[in-house]
Chains A and B, each alone.
Chain A
Amino acid sequence: MKKRWTERFGFLMLYLAGILVLFFLGVILFDIFIKGVGVLSWKFLTQPPRMGMTEGGIFPAIMGTFMVSIITVIFAVPLGMFAAIYLNEYAQPGKITRLIRLAIRNLSGVPSIVYGLFGVVLFVQMFRFGTSVLSAGLTLGLLTLPWTITACEEALKTVPKSYREGALALGATKWHAIRTNVLPYAISGMMTGVILGLSRAAGETAPILFTGAAFFLPHLPKSLFDQFMALPYHLYILATQHHAIEKVRPIAYGTALVLLGLILLLNLSAIWVRYRYRQKMRG
């Protein structure tokens, strides 16, 4: 009898754990949505902040995040894809391959603020890009690189061996086989990973704190070497650094909602790409 009760109690606890995790996410999404949705309007999305950020919108922050993300993608995606192709298609098991894999796993564990420090020294100071869109984008690119590599490799692994063998048997060289018989089937899997990595990069604050994000700018960055406003940094400013914190709370909630919405949208599109891809592979 006692055993039965232990079992019931134990499973009840597991249930509760599951519900609690669901509850955490629910509270986060619900609270931000309820308090942020009132601020949302066309004006909020398309106007710059006014009156010391107590009024107006968050347009420059949205555009800033957008621009930095583009740099991140341009930098990290080819590099990550090529590295993944090497690891999955060319690399022989051995010391160097092991080292590369070890480096990738450890890179994904390096704190984002350390990437920030690295970005300041390398891009801002050594390469003289200054605090700019470019520096921040490259720093975020480095941050997302290990995720991109892992995701691309996973995608390459799903392509059956027979696809490559078919091309090789017909006399194609290795690269030709990869180009025509592997990449086309792996590309949507890679896209999924890239979008997920991008959604994480878009929400990062620590790496852009000193590499280019600005407290307030009345205009959009004119070149790659200008500073920019970014959604996560804007939220941080509104939540902790503003002189009238209570007054800007609604705007902070609105910013948080837009940021969350953007990230959920990216996540959803990644899920959609994955879904389409699975259907294509089946059919």
Chain B
Amino acid sequence: MEKPYEPSLTIEETPVERVWLRKSIETNDKTSAFRKFQIRRLHEIFIEKFFFLNGLFAILILLGIFSLLFFKGFPAIRELGLKSFFGSSVWNPNAYATPQYGILSLITSTLMVTFGALVIAVPLGVACAAFISQVASSRVREILKPTVEILAGIPSVVVGFLGIILVNPMIAKLFGISNGLNALNGSILLAIMSLPTIISLSEDALRAVPNSYKEASLALGGNDWQTLIRVLVPSALSGIIAAIMLGMGRAIGETMTVLMATGNAPALTFNFLDAIQTMTATIAIELGEVPYNTTHYYALFVIGLVLFVMTFVVNLVSDIILQKYQQVER
């Protein structure tokens, strides 16, 4: 295996340029050779700076998203105070007399479906990752890996559609309720949406465990199962946790599936058979209806800000775990 390319320190002069430079020094000629060198140098520096600006763009967008959400959400916070957002669970911005902007129920709804999704997706995803990386024959792996990739590519709106058409009647029948559009439905769909992330990243983590660990365990008389459970999974644990966090981030931010399948009734509930309304769904439903720059409009950006901060923290934590883990491995 060839080592990955590592950029060298700053732009050095090339051999040709070194000849030019020497010539210009020897002949004390500052016109032709030196000029040629300078032009090439400027050209190179200009190109490097240009690419650098493109790299900076990523930081700019991230800051831009945060600051726009903040500045659009701020008028609502100033007008209503933080307490009316985080101290109440009644979200009723369209009430004629006193509109209420409590987002607690929206947050709990989001956390609820995310939790439900993880309960399904974590055991299933980690087991599938273990299966792909340790058990499956190469032919089975050739089938399963593209399956996971294609599953990752299925649009959320299609998954939501199937939630309405397939999962909805199933839940209704199973629990004897009239309508299967509820938190359970959303959890199942979100589990499917976050499975590919969890599987492929956990698999990477399991694969990164040095072979010697496995061999040592087998040599000590451990069977394959013990090796997997007591050696491989614990060694890959930080990677697996990072994978789960990323899956969780995806579930928190998923919009279309929960919008279509959870019934959209803002209510503070912890019953998975109740209809709920997540933060993402609230934005999706209401932003299209409110006039720009009203309190209600700004309030939706407050939700967006909370959502952004939540996913940002989740991603950051998973990032830190991954970095630590890579350092330990080295």
Question: Interface residues, chain A, CB within 8 Å of chain B?
Answer: 3-4, 6-7, 10-11, 13-18, 20-22, 24-25, 27-28, 31-32, 79, 82-83, 85-92, 96-97, 99-100, 102-107, 109-118, 120-122, 125, 142, 145-146, 149, 156-157, 159-162, 164, 168-169, 171-175, 196, 199-200, 202-206, 209-210, 232-233, 235-236, 239-240, 249, 252, 256, 259-260, 263-264, 267, 271
Contact = CB atoms under 8 A, between A and B. Distances in A.
Contact of B124 (A17, A90, A114, A202): A17
Given A21-B199, A239-B260, A173 B304 contact: no
B59 A99 contact: yes
B58 A103 contact: yes
Given A11-B135, A114-B65, A205-B156, 14 more contacts: A21-B147, A21-B199, A24-B151, A28-B154, A79-B57, A90-B51, A96-B56, A103-B59, A106-B312, A110-B308, A175-B47, A204-B155, A206-B280, A260-B158
Contact of B150 (A25, A89, A105, A174): A25
A235 B311 CA distance: 27
A203 B58 CA distance: 23
Contacts of B130: 14
A25 B223 CA distance: 32
A239 B164 contact: yes
Contact of B287 (A117, A146, A175, A200): A117
Select the residue from B50, B255, B260, B312 with max chain A CB neighbours within 10 A.
B255
Contact of A267 (B149, B259, B288, B316): B149
20 contacts: A10-B225, A10-B228, A18-B132, A21-B144, A32-B162, A85-B54, A100-B58, A103-B61, A113-B307, A116-B283, A157-B5, A171-B15, A199-B153, A203-B153, A210-B287, A236-B256, A240-B260, A259-B155, A260-B154, A267-B153
B128 interface: yes
Interface in B2-29: 2-7, 9-11, 14-17
B255 A112 contact: yes
Contacts, number: 291
Contacts of B234: none
Nearest to A245: B164
Contact of B58 (A24, A25, A107): A107
Interface string B188-199: 000010010001
B113 interface: no
A113 B300 CA distance: 11
Contact of B57 (A13, A83, A240, A267): A83
B284 interface: yes
Interface in B23-62: 40, 43-44, 47-48, 50-52, 54-59, 61-62
Given A113-B255, A240-B260, A89 B56 contact: no
Contact of A113 (B59, B128, B144, B284): B284
Contacts of B151: 21, 24-25, 28
A21 to B, nearest CB: 5
B64 A118 contact: yes
A102 B132 CA distance: 29
A118 B300 CA distance: 12
Contact of A83 (B55, B158, B229): B55
B255 A111 contact: yes
Interface stretch (B77-85, B87-95, B245-253, B265-273): B245-253
A117 B69 CA distance: 8
A262 to B, nearest CB: 10
B256 A164 contact: no
B307 A111 contact: yes
B314 to A, nearest CB: 7
Given A11-B224, A18-B144, A210 B288 contact: yes
Interface string B154-174: 111111111011100000000
A14 B127 contact: yes
A91 B253 CA distance: 31
B140 interface: yes
A260 B162 CA distance: 13
B255 A18 contact: no
B325 interface: no
